[in-house]
Amino acid sequence: MDKQSIELKVENLTTRFGEGLNSVTAADKITFDLHKEETLAIVGESGSGKSATALSLLRLLPPSGKIIDGSVWFESKDILTYNSEQLQSIRGNKISMVFQDPMTSLNPTMTIGQQIMEPLFLHLKLDRKMAKQRAVELLDIVKLPNPEGKMNSYPHQLSGGMKQRVIIAIALACSPKVLIADEPTTALDVLIQAQILELFDSLKKKINLSMILITHDLGVVSGMADRTLVMYAGEIVESGPTQELLNSPLHPYTVGLLNCRPRRVGGQKRKRLTEIPGTISRNDTQGCSFYSRCSSAMDRCKTEKPPFEMVSPGHSASCWLNDTN
Report the interface residues with ligand SF4, using CB under 6 A.
251-252, 288, 290-291, 294, 296-298, 301, 306, 319-321
Q: Please, which residue, 153 or 285, has the CB nearer to ligand SF4?
A: 285
Q: Please, which residue, 130 or 255, has the CB nearer to ligand SF4?
A: 255
Can you tell me the distance from the alpha carbon of 34 to that of 181, in angstroms, rounded to the nearest whole number?
14
Can you tell me the distance from the alpha carbon of 48 to that of 55, in angstroms, rounded to the nearest whole number?
13
Can you tell me the distance from the alpha carbon of 266 to that of 68, in angstroms, rounded to the nearest whole number?
50
Q: Please, which residue, 155 or 287, has the CB nearer to ligand SF4?
A: 287
Type and span of the H or E element at 54: helix 50-57
Can you tell me the distance from the alpha carbon of 135 to that of 121, in angstroms, rounded to the nearest whole number?
11
Residue 212 Cβ vs ligand SF4, minimum distance, rounded to whole Å: 25
Residue 301 Cβ vs ligand SF4, minimum distance, rounded to whole Å: 3
Residue 105 Cβ vs ligand SF4, minimum distance, rounded to whole Å: 36
Helical ranges in 106-214 per DSSP H:
112-122, 128-141, 147-150, 160-172, 190-206
Can you tell me the distance from the alpha carbon of 46 to that of 34, in angstroms, rounded to the nearest whole number?
23
Residue 78 Cβ vs ligand SF4, minimum distance, rounded to whole Å: 33
Q: Please, which residue, 43 or 142, has the CB nearer to ligand SF4?
A: 43
Can you tell me the distance from the alpha carbon of 321 to that of 300, in angstroms, rounded to the nearest whole number?
11
Q: Please, which residue, 139 or 276, has the CB nearer to ligand SF4?
A: 276
Residue 315 Cβ vs ligand SF4, minimum distance, rounded to whole Å: 15
Q: Please, which residue, 203 or 297, has the CB nearer to ligand SF4?
A: 297
Give me the phi and psi of 75, to 5 degrees please. Answer: 50, 50
- A 10 A CB-CB count for 73 gives 16
Residue 29 Cβ vs ligand SF4, minimum distance, rounded to whole Å: 17
